[in-house]
C-alpha cells in the first residue's frame, strides 16, 4: 500500500508538471529540479488533496520541497 502511494504521488507529479518520469525521484526538488513555480506547486497539492482525501494546510505545504516530502506527507495523512 505504501509502495502504491509513492507511485501514485509520482504519477500525479509527472502528469501535472508534464515532466519525464525519470526526473521524478524522491530527492527531486519541485522548484529546482522539476521546474515548478509556486502556482504549479499549489496545483499539484490540490491534486494530492483530491486523490488522497486529505488536506494540506499552507504551513505544511511550504515544507514540502521534494517529491519524497510529498510522499511522506501523504503516507501520514491519507484517508484513501
Partner 1 sequence: MQARRVVVTGLGAVTPLACGVAASWEKLKSSASGIRKIKHFDTEDLPSKVAGLVPSEENPDGSDNLFKQTNWVEPKDLKKMDRFVVYAMAAATQAVDDAGLLLDETANESEKERTGVLIAAGIGGLSTIYETAVAIHEQGCRRVSPFFIPASLINMPSGHVSIKYGFKGPNLSIVTACTSGSHAIGEGTRIIQRNAADVMVVGGTEAAVCKLGVAGFCALKALSTKFNDTPPEASRPWDEDRDGFVMGDGSGVLVLEELEHAKKRRAKIYAEIVGYGVSSDAYHITAPAENGDGAYRSMLSAIKDAEIDVKDLDYINAHGTSTPAGDTAELQAVMKVLGSESKSVCMSSTKSSTGHLLGAAGAVEAIFSIMSIQDNTVPPTLNLHRPPADLSIDLVPLVAKEKKVDIALSNSFGFGGTNSSLVFKKFK
Where does this chain touch partner 1 (CB under 8 A) — which range of 11-19, 24-32, 61-69, 70-78? 11-19
Q: Is 39 in the site for partner 1 (CB under 8 A)?
A: yes
Contact pick of 31, 43, 53, 62 for partner 1 (by CB under 8 A): 43
In this structure, what are the phi and psi dihedrals at residue 61, rounded to the nearest 5 degrees?
-60, -40
20 near partner 1, judged by CB under 8 A = no
Interacting span for partner 1 (CB under 8 A) from 4-12, 48-56, 59-67, 70-78:
48-56
Burial of 26 (0-12, 13-18, 19+ CB in 10 A): middle
Q: Is 29 helix (H, G, I), strand (E, B) or coil?
A: strand
**Binds partner 1 (CB under 8 A): choice among 2, 21, 50, 53:** 50
Beta bridge partners of 29: 66
Q: In this structure, is the dihedral angle defined by the CA atoms of residues 17, 22, 23 and 26, taken in order, positive or negative?
A: positive
Q: What is the set of active-site residues?
A: 37
Amino acid at each position: 500500500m505504501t509502495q502504491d502511494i509513492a507511485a501514485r504521488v509520482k504519477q500525479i507529479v509527472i502528469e501535472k508538471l508534464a515532466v519525464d518520469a525519470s526526473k521524478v525521484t524522491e530527492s527531486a526538488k519541485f522548484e529546482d529540479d522539476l521546474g515548478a513555480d509556486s502556482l504549479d506547486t499549489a496545483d499539484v497539492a490540490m491534486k494530492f488533496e483530491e486523490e488522497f482525501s486529505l488536506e494540506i494546510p499552507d504551513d505544511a505545504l511550504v515544507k514540502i520541497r521534494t517529491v519524497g516530502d510529498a510522499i511522506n506527507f501523504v503516507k501520514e495523512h491519507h484517508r484513501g
